[in-house]
Structure 1
Amino acid sequence: MSEVMTTGVFASDAGPSIPTNLSRDDYCSADIYAKELEKVFYRQWLAVGHISLVPAAGDYYVKQVGPESMIIAKDKEGRIRAYFNVCRHRGYRMLDDHAQGCTDGFVCPYHHWTYDLNGKLRTVPGTRDGQDFPFAEFPLHEAHCTVKHGFIFVWLGKDVPPTLDEALAHWDNDALIRKFEPEKLKLAHREIYTIDANWKAMMENDLECYHCSHGGHVSLAIACNFQGFYADKQTGQHFPLREGMVTFSMDGQRVCKKPLGKAVDGDSAGFLLWPFFCGPVFFVDHAVSLELTPMGVDKCQFICEWYVEETAVESVDYDVEKLIQVFHITNVEDQAFGERNYRGIQSSRFVPGALHPRREDGIIAAYDLYRGMMAAD
């Protein structure tokens, strides 16, 4: 029997092609990683936070989005903007990692070039506008930015992006999500996991629950209906609950006293983007935002943010440790799975394996999109 490995397909004269994961080089090559940044990372909408983080004009926060440091800010007209954290003078990173606050403009601490909230260069020490160069030619570099269901997304590439709704055409659950009133949230906690693995090893892990039901996530199994992941992917039940479970928690009971909008016990909905896995999911009493981004060929970052109803009070309506427990335990377990899987991928004997057509169909769909993006001009 003759056999040949094509890109992501194991072909044989005995039957149809079988979907696979990728070759060793696709996970380990610095050249391929550089191409991925250009072809995939800079051509996908990426989640960066919630509108509650910038409620008023002048509010801002700094967010690491893969290799890019971004300033997310609200201008005086109420528009949310996303600027690259790069001074137009000599490229100095203007604001510290995780900085946040309220301001009427941004000042580079190196040579004190200053910028308006709309990104325009305002003042330069030692010169006036037009004296040595026109200030209008040196605004902050800006990314495309949009909002959906209260969550902020950026497109870091220079090309004109599709709308976020176009990118999410495969999800059809906007009416269900509106039930949670997702604009009326506040951030309760954030965890950043730095993972020693190629981002695709983690993307594969995050897009399947094949490993979950075999003892991979004992805590997750308490409330989560694993079999629901293998059902119709268009229902919006991304983290489906077991019968009788109220919410996604260690015991299936509420972790916040205040419900989200008009949600009721057992509700679950959300939307996700890929190949770079990101998006929010909603339950009756809290929401969780997930963000996977690359940090190098052998390193990636996973950010998990927990949100509660905007008027909920910590230690009165919710306890942070209980709120985050099930997802945090699962994230730590997934980090270990991803890192150990990547160590195996680095072996000289690794070759792509067959993907389960029903239990790993999320991976298959993501790689169909990935291969198309990598092949595009």
Structure 2
Amino acid sequence: MTEFRPTATTYREGSKTLPGVLYTAPAILADEMERLFAKTWNCVGRASRLEKPGDYFVREIAGESIVVLRDGKGTPRAFFNVCRHRGTRICREDSGHFNAAIQCPYHAWTYALDGALVGAPGMQEVEGFDRGEYPLHAAALAEWGGFLFVNIARDPEPFEKVWAPMRGRLDRFGLERLQVGHRAVYDVGANWKLVFQNYSECLHCPTIHPKLATVLPYQSGANDLTEGPFLGGYMEIKPPNVSATMSGRACGRIVSGDIPESDRRRAYYYTLMPNLLLSLHPDYVNYYLVHPVASNRTRVESEWLFHPDTVADPKNNIQDAIEFWDLTNRQDWDIVERSQLGVGSRRYTPGPYSPRESIPAAWDREYLRLMGRV
């Protein structure tokens, strides 16, 4: 049985914030790209974005351009966006559709949707040339809860092993069946770690989020994941509110009939290393993909997910949930941008975490472990 512990009870005495250089130095970000993002399972979005065979979108992971597509058999795949002829980047657009094949724009080397080389003009004149030796370089891909994950390492740790703590944990929300109702992209002038740390605690909520604080009291926080790459738990939805919306009312039908009564007055929040923030409410789910752009800049992509019936019925008010978190997000981005300015000061030194900040402190410990700094 899952055990939830009040936030303050998992606090480690002496926990402090990270040194300023970890938020400001370009060399640190370059090291993070190699040690974290190039070796772990990055969420690249929802599988539903690939509606039919041939659909694709492009993601950047640790400086690598990766093409994520659905092949002719309906299987999602990921390939490095690099032609095997002379290394040309194949896809120019961020998303699109391949008509049965992928063709390099330079010398027309052509690949099937499974990555196999099927055409190489002029190479018939090369003795011993074997098309079978030149497929597109594949990246490992996995699916969980309707989300797609890509690992660009040559020998990645199996997704099933890495994701074991999450297996079955959120099945009751029926994530794979939910439908995207809204998408937003935010450009945040702060280091990506500040985004994760801010998401991980609500001690700041009464001052930064007065609206949220009336719905989700920060003292109600309890967590079932308190150490490691996956962290988080729930907050109680304060009556008479029944959801985290501007009105306090449900914005549509419950996301899944499998959600027990005890979860229908709770909102769950998890940080999933290295780039996914996942927020689950009784009537909707929203998530954030965190993309470091520079040591002081982060792009955050967010989507709001609903039961298909909620999206289909115009009588439902999904905007009620969208506006709640868009307001909260913008408040968060403003304060983490101010944090970025502060940690760049010559006089900044690591400060003490409080017991109410036990989860960002745990996140820092895992980050330092993965970076080889402990």
TM-score, reference length from structure 2: 0.83
Match of 1:19 in 2: 15
Match of 2:194 among 189, 201, 225: 201
Question: Does the 8 A contact of 1:292 with 1:302 survive in 2?
Answer: yes
Worse-superposed segment, 184-193 or 220-229: 220-229
Q: Which has the higher contact order (CA 8 A, sep 6+)?
A: 2
Paired AA for residue 58 in structure 2: V
Deviation at 1:98, TM superposition (A): 3.4
1-structure distance, mates of 2:213, 2:371: 36
Which of the residues 209, 216, 220 maps onto 1:217? 209
Does the 8 A contact of 1:106 with 1:115 survive in 2?
yes
Q: Structure 2 matches for 1:192-341, cutoff 5 A? A: 192-213=185-206, 215-229=207-221, 231-234=222-225, 237-238=233-234, 240-257=236-253, 259-263=255-259, 265-266=264-265, 268-269=267-268, 271-274=270-273, 276-313=274-311, 316-319=314-317, 321-341=319-339
Match in the other structure for 2:50: 54
Offset of 1:342 from its aligned partner? 0.7
Does residue 108 (structure 1) correspond to residue 99 (structure 2)? The answer is no
- Which of 324, 340, 343 matches 1:345? 343
Aligned length in residues = 354
Structure 2: distance between partners of 1:310 and 1:102: 27
Secondary structure class of the residue paired with 1:303: strand
Looking at structure 2, the residues matched to 291 and 238 of structure 1 have their Cα atoms a distance apart, in angstroms, of: 20
Query: Paired residue for 2:175, among 172, 176, 182?
Result: 182
How far apart are 1:139 and its partner, in Å?
2.4
Q: Is the 8 A contact 2:36 2:370 kept in 1?
A: yes
Alignment root-mean-square deviation, CA: 2.9
1:159 and 2:150 are equivalent in the alignment: no
Tell me, in whole angstroms, the C-alpha distance in 2 between the residues paired with 1:351 and 1:363: 17
Flag as ranges the 4+ runs of structure 1 deviating above 6 A.
Answer: none
| 2:200–2:271 contact (8 Å) kept in structure 1 | no
Q: Secondary structure at the match of 1:307?
A: strand
SS in 1 for 2:289: strand
Task: Please give the residue correspondences for 1:358-373 in structure 2 after superposition, counting only pairs within 5 Å.
Answer: 358-373=355-370
Deviation (angstroms), 1:304: 0.8
Deviation at 1:341, TM superposition (A): 0.7
The amino acid across from 1:226 in the alignment is Y
The residue number in structure 2 matching 1:11 is none
1:208, distance to aligned residue in structure 2 (A): 1.7
1:153-206: CA deviation from partner (whole Å, max 9, x where unpaired): 22232232143453452x57x35x322222212222211112222212222212
CA contact (8 A) 2:234 2:266 kept: no
- The one-character-per-residue Cα deviations of 1:115-135 (angstroms, maximum 9, x if unpaired) are 221122222233349657433
* TM superposition score normalised by structure 1: 0.83
Residue 340 to residue 87, structure 1, CA distance change in 2 (3 Å):
farther
The Cα shift of 1:29 comes to 1.7
Tell me the distance in 1 between the aligned counterparts of 2:192 and 2:372.
19
State the secondary structure of the residue aligned to 1:359: helix
Residue 267 of structure 1 and its aligned partner are, at CA, apart by: 5.1
Is residue 279–residue 289 contact of structure 1 (8 Å, CA) maintained in 2? yes
Is 2:76 the counterpart of 1:77? no
Q: Percent identity?
A: 29
1:355 matched residue in structure 2: 353
Match status 1:33 vs 2:29:
yes
Q: Which amino acid aligns with 2:327?
A: I
Greater mean deviation of Cα atoms: 83-92 or 195-204: 83-92
Pair 1:42-2:38 in alignment: yes
**What is the identity, as a one-letter code, of the residue corresponding to 1:233?**
D
Does the 8 A contact of 1:85 with 1:95 survive in 2?
yes
Structure 1 portions without partners, runs of 5+: 1-15
Distance 1:334 1:126 in 2: 56
Q: Report which of the two has the higher share of helix.
A: 2
Q: 1:119 aligns with which of 102, 115, 132?
A: 115
Change (3 A) 1:140 1:21: farther
Asked if 1:375 is matched to 2:368, the reply is no
Check 1:267–1:109 CA distance in 2 against 1; reply closer, same or farther (3 A cut).
farther
SS of the residue 1:18 aligns to: coil
Task: Name the aligned partner's letter for residue 140 of structure 2.
Answer: H
